Structure 1
Amino acid sequence: MNSFQKPMVGLLLFSLIQVNTFAQTNWPKEIPLETGGRIILYQLQPETVSGNRLTARAAFSIREKRGDEPIFGAMWLNASLDTDKAERTARLESIQITEAKFPVEENQSQVNILRALLLQEIPKWKLDIPLDELIVTMDGARSGDKDQFKNDPPEIIYTQQPTRLVLIDGEPFIKPDDQLGVNRLQNSASLIVQQPNDNLFYYYTSPFWYQSTAILTGWTPLSKWPRWVKRLNRKIKKLEKENQELPADDSDNEAIEPPIITVRTKPAELIQSLGQAQLAPIQGTNLLYVVNTESAIFMDVSSQLYYVVLSGRWYRAASLQGRWSFVPADSLPGDFAQIPEGSTKAEVLAYVPGTEAAREAIQDAQIPQTAKVDRKKATCRVTYDGAPQFEPIEGTNLFIAVNASNTVLRANASFYCVENGVWFIANNPAGPWAVSVERPIDVNKIPPSSPAYPVKYVYIYDIDPDYVYMGYTAGYSGCYVYGPTILFGTGFYYRPWYGKVYLPRPFTWGFSLQYNPWAGWHFGFGHSWFTFSPWFNFWRWWGPPRHLEQLPRRYNRYPNQPGGRNPRISSNNNVYRYRNDVVTRNLERDYQSTTERPSNSRTYRPLSNKAQPSGYTPSRQPSRNLPFKSPGQAQDTPNDVYSDRSGKTYQRDRTGNWQQREGKGWRPTSRENNPTLPQVQRDYQLRERGSGRVRQQPGGLGQPAKPTPPRKLSGTIRLPR
């Protein structure tokens, strides 16, 4: 390391260890120096995510004084991800610098000292970034687990008229509802009621009421409502408006004709067109798509076969009324991967292997929603319909309680419960429940054929005396990485519990579920549901409590088709928000927060929550009163410097040409003479794509940050010569 480089390294270290929070989101970051120089940190280049740990590299430059020639280098880091998937933000905490390289010959002893100091001080540093930026710029998405899902098609119903599907979980199960004062169908997400002394059934689907003498057939619109129906309807409208499911004025619904009602007691999906299917070509492909539908229906011209995607799975048939069969995603005709992004049916690209949309969907599904759970305050409440009844889970030593309100597992003499993304443990199935610091040993062996399967995606990452750091990935909410794409649900039918109460299980079919990169999975058209009611609790159809409410309805482009609403990007898709004993990220209220997660360089996994391992010491709380402000965006510096995996730095100029840093200057480079340049160019493409996705996000971050005033340096760190 030359004499000029040593003070530069000292300034770099001094500046980095004084950083408390990177509150801005634009790149590159600037740390001004009072001497007139500055440190520039270019956008992170993520490499891997494992659990809640991120590894990444970044290029940086440093100049001591204005006008000095900058020195460029690269650093590697790993950090804990503290995420808020509702707000689409991520904070990097407990950051560790694992390597730092410069483009000149290194003095290894000096580098080792630098690394040791960074490891000691860097937990004080935090970095807030848009989650979509992280997802898109991380290359090399992993394929899914080897678990085998059930992909047989449900009954696929095709209609050419506006139709509403009512899905009943088996034979109708009706019992009195004391709060409503009527009999109510229990085993459906639809609201069907009956007066005790009336032979007629009444079904609600906004804004209509229907009646029938039988639940399974014969539904006709109700033109004149009985008084008790009017009272119930007013209560429903109030609840819907409070939950923003209907606009304040739904007078537009007066022009909507009542849809046809179709009832099924087994898994089914509805696809429909408004009149006879009308086909149009997709530019640049050998595909046609059905124009007059909200379904994703295609025809491959070469084979003359229809294709449809349902819950992320592909099916094909010779006709829309025909016999549908499952098509593995990697067996699709190659033209599907050529569907242009931004086109009418581009939403299906998330289910097409090899596309950027599919890669990003996989990345998103593998990034956890994180939280820290208060070990003293957090508890859960489990109720059973009668005495607890347990059944074995195939291939494991676990048993599941089939009549419990939450997922309760028995492992030897211990009982585990997952409630709202938090693991609890007890010595008795009735509790008392305490926050668990471990998961059951066999939890990763739970097969998709078990209704307990989603809880294997709830993790315990770290512990300290006060908190347990937990998180869950998309599998807890029913979104799974399956081979080269994502899908919703396991496809298995789980037998529900019928007793004094009805306890449903997770469903895959019946609600036209579709994926959106910002909102996740959302309802399509033609389904029937009713959720906003204090007496109605069907969360287990789709996953954890409140998860049902996070699934927004899709926007309806057809004014004469009922059921569609604008999708809303809601904070409801963070289930931790519903706990007052959990701290979870909310960037909108957290910018000014002084709450920080303690640093912990070790991860302990005690065998019980009563004893700590030998040598355990509480984590050190980072200082909250550091004297320096956070760096801001470098206003006059383009975000155009990259690092390759070996630590070499590259720059892309405005004309699209590439240069490699050598010594104190840039040298032109190209694919022909530099075998690593294609990967750097790939990083550039991902960075551009990530910036575009952040800009497109409703309510997303990405506004330019205000410049940070120069820092007053009050000292230096001297490195041994």
Structure 2
Amino acid sequence: MTSMKITLPLLFAITVLTITNLAAKTLNPPADPGWPRQRTSEQGRLVYYQPQVDAWTNFKELSFRMAFSLTPKGGKEIVGVVEVQAQTDVNMDDRSVLIRDFKIKEVKLPGLDPEKTSQVDQAVRSFLPPDHTAVMALDRLVASVEKTQAPATVQVQNDPPKIFVSYTPAILLDIDGEPTRAEIADTNMGFVVNSNFPLFFEKGGENYLFTGQQWLKSPILEGPWAPVANLPKDMTKVANDPQWAQMKKPILSPSAKGKPPTIFYSNKPAEVILFQGQPNYANIPGTQLTVATNTDADLFVYTPTQAYYYLAAGRWFKASDLKGPWTYTTPDL
């Protein structure tokens, strides 16, 4: 009888674990790692961005374009756009789409020396062979489909984001839509839920922003923002609240030292082109392009027209001046 008492619970535990593992495999969708993605080989590295869908015929055959940057081994970065046709398999259980059977229709390489075009074309095709596959979240793909094919509630937005430019340290205070404010219990403080930086406010008073290095304050979110060495007294209560444990040290030891960064505020999609000083550009051999070298942004200048080309969220935007206005230009590359 003793062995029976041991065996039954053990079998039950194994059964529960097995069912749990099977359920986890069923419920957890294949990872959509997001964009951009990259592939490496002996030839170098290819970074490719989220597909821009032209057509999804019968929700099986997918025609799309992808911006990419190719860095040959020991060479300079080359940018372009690849047009692809592929087949898709939709899995409604985990809301994913398998993109397979890649057929590259065209590789566009604006400004590249014609003598090098064929070599680069073949290199791109080697990174994305016919047997290449990619998993993409169904909702992400549907959001990329043109309005004529997508459900009536889905619209393709190619409007340029607000593009800020700075030559000194700066951060983007990004609020997703209108600010959503929540009060902090038993204090005179609150916080903005949909902010990308820790953002607090005193009821009827100032806003307090933590940049990661120092605290700034402003009566309005649009600024101007100024350094502050002393936070409201009730922020001590916030620091001692377990919910805000990660903010305890910066709250209890606030710093206003150093020159504050420029704060760019936006409640709509926005990007910051951040230079380290005045812009520096370098020629890309064999092309009529120069690339900005003292910024992390993908920013190029087409020398015959002095037009700027900026890659953001897998889409190309063009302007005659860094101050804008910017226009969507991916189809024209």
**Structure of greater Rg:** 1
- TM-score of the aligned structures, taking structure 2 as reference length: 0.47
Highest RCO, 1 vs 2 (Cα 8 Å, sep ≥ 6): 1
Structure with more of its chain in strand, by fraction: 2
- TM-score of the aligned structures, taking structure 1 as reference length: 0.23
